[in-house]
């Protein structure tokens, strides 16, 4: 097994709440990197997060799957547009909002 296959198997053993919580944590890491204007440090986290969004789908309900599809699109846009058409501070804000939405979808946070 390659490293990504091993990580996928381990990731998919976790509950949906843990999977979405881990993805939310990654979004906060992306936000931090964006605030520091450090795209190079963010790139591996962006890549891992795209995998996480795919790997979580089988465990999620339809609403969570929709959220993951939106996030998958956002991650691709952030990666391509960082520093070009998209200001890193906008990425940071969007990533933090995405993290919040994931935690709410996972049932970890309640909507206010």
**Residue pLDDT tens, the chain, 112 long:** 469 899 999 999 999 999 999 999 999 999 999 999 999 999 999 999 999 999 999 999 999 999 999 999 999 999 999 988 889 999 999 999 999 999 999 887 766 5
Please give the Cα distance from 71 to 95 (Å, whole number): 9
Paired strand residues for 82: 86
- Taking domain 15-105, whether its CATH number is 1.20.58 is answered by yes
The answer to whether residues 95 and 34 touch, using CB atoms and an 8 Å cutoff, is yes
Instruction: Give me the pLDDT at residue 68, please.
Output: 97
């Amino acid at each position: 097994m390659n490293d990504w296959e091993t990580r996928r198997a381990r990731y998919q053993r976790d509950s949906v709440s843990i999977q979405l919580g881990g993805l939310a944590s990654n979004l906060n890491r992306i936000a931090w990197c964006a605030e520091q204007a450090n795209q190079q440090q963010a790139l591996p986290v962006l890549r891992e997060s795209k995998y996480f969004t795919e790997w979580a789908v089988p465990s999620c309900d339809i609403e969570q799957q929709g959220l993951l599809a939106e996030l998958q699109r956002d991650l691709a846009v952030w990666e391509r547009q960082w520093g070009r058409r998209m200001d890193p501070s906008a990425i940071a804000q969007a990533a933090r909002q995405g993290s919040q939405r994931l935690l709410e979808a996972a049932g970890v946070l309640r909507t206010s």
